[in-house]
Amino acid sequence: MGGKLWDIVDKDYAIIDPTNPTNEDRENTLANAQATNVLYSALDLNEFNCICKLETTHEIWKRLKEIHAGTTMVKDAKLFVYKGQLKKFTMLQNESIEEMFNCLNNIINELKGLGMDVSDIDFSHKFLRALPNKYDTIVTLLGRSKLEGDDSNANLE
């Protein structure tokens, strides 16, 4: 989207006198229609049904952000849940290393999607700490190599 379209989406616009629109009002109305068309074409039927009654692209954008990211309260609740999952994360008894990696990666991706900064080194540290005792030798060897990196960057438990 061009700058004008994004301004309409992000900041909205108002027409002071609908009976006597200015050239800028006409441009804004056209930009709103174009931006709405762009958003409509990107939505599936369920999302479209949630926003189809809204009039401006700005309203549509706000609703879509709420649908996908949630309100601040929902976001905070999700962060709380995923941080708890991360803190308690361990490898399950019948789980393969690949399955464990994918599970941890899903939690980290959810946290990143909610705005939490999780570095690759923090991910590596958490992964290694979550391995069961039978992998202690491998963890020790990796710890002595430069794979683990500087412990001062590790803030995940």
| Tokens 């941890």 found at | 104
Residue 108 has pLDDT above 90, yes or no: yes
pTM over 0.75: no
Give 69-96 pLDDT, tens digit per residue. 667 787 888 899 999 999 999 999 899 9
Closest CA to 153 of 113, 115, 126, 114: 126
| Cβ atoms < 10 Å from Cβ of 35 | 24
Can you give the residue ranges of every domain in the chain?
3-69, 72-153
